[in-house]
Amino acid sequence: MMEKVLAQLLELGKVYTQLLSLAREKTDALTRDDLKALGDVTKREEEASDQAFKLENERMGVVNQLALMWGMQPENVTVSFMASQCQGELAIQLTRAAEQLLDCLQLLRRQNETNARLLEIKLRLAAFVMDAARDTGNGPGTYYNMNGAELEPNTLSAARFLDSEI
């Protein structure tokens, strides 16, 4: 049964490595403002996330079986404990697979945090531009021309958004 856990950890590692690669692609798409690429990456991310969820459920099924066999609570059946119940190369492989998975998950978390910040910046910028375009020449306030002279409200137009006629 430990071999099955090892195989599951290795497979999860592959899926999370794929998710990390996709998160990096997403960063690139966000910095290039490429909505088509962003949509494509998001679709592939969803598929990989579904696969990770399925694998994680399978892994938890095996952990539950091991917990029952050892008379333990499932949350206490850690990789360290499982490795202590094995000998030789299998114990080393379990530990290594878990460490690699943890490293990948940490990188993925940081990349996703970066993407969340980029997305927030992009959304704030879009909201600012939309608000500015909507409010230009329509709201109360004082407006000035390029020479610093105050303009009359009825002389304003949406084309003056950048302080000059477009």
Query: Residue 142: inside a domain, yes or no?
Result: no
Rounded CA separation 50/10 (Å) = 17
The reported pLDDT for the residue numbered 165 is 45
pLDDT tens readout for residues 113-164: 999 999 988 888 877 777 776 665 555 556 666 666 776 655 555 544 444 4
* CB atoms near residue 98 (< 10 Å): 20
Tokens of 90: 């299998």
pLDDT tens readout for residues 102-126: 999 999 999 999 999 999 888 888 7
From the list 105, 130, 125, the residue with the least C-alpha distance to 30 is: 125
CATH of the domain at 80: 1.20.58.300
Place of tokens 């879009």: 126
Q: What pTM was estimated for this model as a whole?
A: 0.74
Query: Residue 166: inside a domain, yes or no?
Result: no
Query: Residue 149: inside a domain, yes or no?
Result: no
Query: Residue 146: inside a domain, yes or no?
Result: no
Alpha helices in 32-164 (DSSP H): 35-70, 79-84, 89-135
